[in-house]
Amino acid sequence: MILGCHVSMSGDKMLLGAAQQAVSYGANTMMIFTGAPQNSRRKPTSQMNITQGWHYLKQHQIQRIMGHAPYIINLGNTKDLSKYEFAIDFLQAEVQRCAALQIEALSFHPGAHVGLGAPVAIKSIAQGLQEVLKSQPQVKIALETMSGKGTEIGATFEQLAQIIDLTPNNEQLTITFDTCHVHDAGYDIVNDFDGVLLEFDKIIGLDRLAMIHLNDSKNGRGSHKDRHTNIGFGQIGFKALNYICHHPQLAAIPKIMETPYVPLAQNPKKAVAPYASEIKMLQEQQFDPQMQQRLSSS
């Protein structure tokens, strides 16, 4: 089972610090942003402590790391061409940073149509991705399944398949399957995950699956809300997420948790990462109904 979580690459340690976090949680894979997800400020890769980071990762038998593109990129918005061109340029630079960091796949929110309509946005997303992919980068771009809030593109497998089909150089175009997003988009992964997986395979293909974001959801199926919660404490539940995590067809796929930190009872302004407890639960296949309470009082 390849199971890990999102960790922070910040401060002077950068990749080394992120690797140390992942190991402290018992993870054997991890996902990082190359910088803050809400802005375009990035350190040069020469300052990201890559050599030391990878030395530490290999010491602890971590061979595969994932990336996440910042939220500021929207290839679905062509109302302002300068912003569209910025999105392409920044994604190109992000892919180059990921290559330097030896990231396997970059999870990427396809974009939102901002009133232009889904067909227009799907074409512009494919055109933007083609600009990035025509240079044949080594890093995979993993289109993320979305919940469908607002004017998001990618809430259906069909939309993601259309983007792939419209991108000529699509060999490195893959998919991130986010359990919270897919559930909130309306797919019944709680009662019929195998059926959803079969549908995904028919429309997109399991060979395109790069990673799974393993998250519970605060909201019901089809809510289009996109609000993550801790494993077993949401509307998807531990049984379904544990089944996905241990699914034999997904054994080689990295599973990344992006669940929220748990506020401390004595100081609600501070919070602690739940990942060590969540990884332990999934490894032991045993739900701890007091996990959040136990963490909050620690």
User: Rg of the chain's alpha carbons, rounded to an integer?
Assistant: 19
109 labelled ligand-binding: yes
68 labelled ligand-binding: yes
Of the candidates 61, 247, 222, the one whose C-alpha atom is nearest the C-alpha of residue 147 is 222
228 labelled ligand-binding: yes
Cβ distance 188 to 195 under 8 Å? Answer: yes
199 labelled ligand-binding: no
213 labelled ligand-binding: yes
Distance CA 26, CA 237 (A): 22
258 labelled ligand-binding: yes
224 labelled ligand-binding: no
CA–centroid distance for 25 within its chain: 18
6 labelled ligand-binding: no
Q: Which residues of 42-61 are buried (b: 16+ CB within 10 A; e: fewer)?
A: beebeebbbeebbebbeeee
CA dihedral 238, 24, 33, 264 (to 10 degrees): 70
288 labelled ligand-binding: no
Cβ distance 76 to 153 under 8 Å? Answer: yes
Residue stretches of the annotated binding site for Zn(2+): 68, 109, 144, 178, 181, 213, 226, 228, 258
Residue stretches of the annotated binding site: 68, 109, 144, 178, 181, 213, 226, 228, 258
